[in-house]
Structure 1
Amino acid sequence: MKIWLRMMAFTVLAALAMALVACGGGSSGGSSGGGQSSGPVTLEIGSKGEELAFDKTELRVAAGQTVTLRFKNNSAVQQHNWILVKGGDAEAAAIANAGLSAGPAANYLPADKSNILAESPLANGNETVEVTFTAPAAGTYIYICTVPGHYPLMQGKLIVTN
């Protein structure tokens, strides 16, 4: 009887594991947006209406993967952008602060872009913009909006796996 129960439990766990693997690997949309594949991936993210927030606060890709990020500004009146930061909170804050004086003509970005890994164009209300980049080395990276006043609330994490 014990062997039969163990075999049944093993079969159920194996079926569950296969179902989870089958459901997890899409190449666009979703909160994880891709993942372990080395082929190109398209991630979709947007703003949350008139809130100062992204609709996804975590995205996942594989190191070295070609990533096209499609950003939809779901606000009717506000501008937004999507900036991938090289570094942590201090670098993100510095980029956002320097963007204040840079203005919209410079996409609210500093002239020194050494701590920026990828940047979308500035998106007006109800506009979709794209940026294509190569995923950096494995790690966790911050993405932000640098439109004045948005950075403290509009941020998320790009998790890059091997």
Structure 2
Amino acid sequence: MNTKTKISLLILMGFLTITSCGKKETAPVEEQTETSTEGEAAPVTSTAENVLVIEGNDQMQFNTNELKAVAGKPITLTLKHVGKIPKEAMGHNLVILQEGTDEAAFALKANDAKATDYIPESEKASIIAHTKLLGGGDQDTIEFTIDKKGTYPFICSFPGHVAMMKGVLIVE
């Protein structure tokens, strides 16, 4: 790891220490529920449409650590960076990885991939899909399909973010 990356991580850790002190307020996550009456099929929720929205903020957090989708149907995923800090200091992306991918090893390789917005060329086979690197106020929408049911990890590959910004995409 070069000196510039070490200094950036040290600054980021200091920022996190300062911003994580005090009362922590979190917005409630909307949960989708299915209801049915006897003899009727359960209505289809927006999950069946595979339209997913996730937010990242200036406190290095996604607003959820679990997304759900239906196998074999196109998935439309939107990442919104709801913070205000520019991407050079607090960039966020969302990288969906193949099942079994070592997230920590992937993140270490991503640290050195600044030229490709922290998406390492050597790890393309481990990536199902990814958004652009976003700064505060930006958003990106991607479309992809996963045919195989399973649990797929997702992370933010910006240096140092994987520790707090990760979750799973459950494909049923």
Which stretches of structure 1, 4 residues or more, deviate above 6 A after TM superposition? none
- Within a 5 Å distance, the mapping from 1:89-128 to structure 2 comes to 90=102, 92-103=103-114, 105-112=115-122, 113-128=124-139
Per-residue CA deviation, residues 16-57 of structure 1 (Å, 9 max, x unaligned), is 6439934xx332xxxxxx03xxxx53211111x322111011
Q: Secondary structure at the match of 2:58?
A: coil
Residue by residue over 1:84-134, the C-alpha shift from the partner in whole angstroms, topping out at 9 and shown as x without a partner, is 0113362x222211111111x302011121000011011111101111100
TM-score, normalisation: structure 1: 0.74
Matched, 1:42 2:51: yes
Secondary structure at the aligned position of 2:119 is classed as coil
In the alignment, what sits opposite 1:87? 99
Q: How many residues align?
A: 131
Within 1, Cα distance between the matches of 2:68 and 2:60? 22
**Secondary structure at 2:110's aligned position in 1?**
helix
Matched, 1:71 2:79: yes
Tell me, yes or no, if the aligned pair for 2:81 and 2:137 is still in contact at 8 Å. yes
Gapped regions of structure 1 (runs ≥ 5)? 1-15, 28-33
Aligned mates of 1:137, 1:117 — CA distance in 2: 12
In structure 2, what is the equivalent of residue 55 of structure 1? 63
Residue equivalent to 1:4: none
Question: Cα deviation per residue 1:57-83 (whole Å; 9 max; x = unaligned)?
Answer: 111111111011010011211210000
2:25 maps to: none
Please provide the CA RMSD for this pair. Answer: 1.9
Partner of 1:18: 37
The percent identity for this pair of structures is 31
Gaps of 5+ in 2: 1-34
SS of alignment partner, residue 141 of structure 2: strand
Tell which structure's C-alpha radius of gyration is larger.
1
Distance 2:127 2:78 in 1: 18
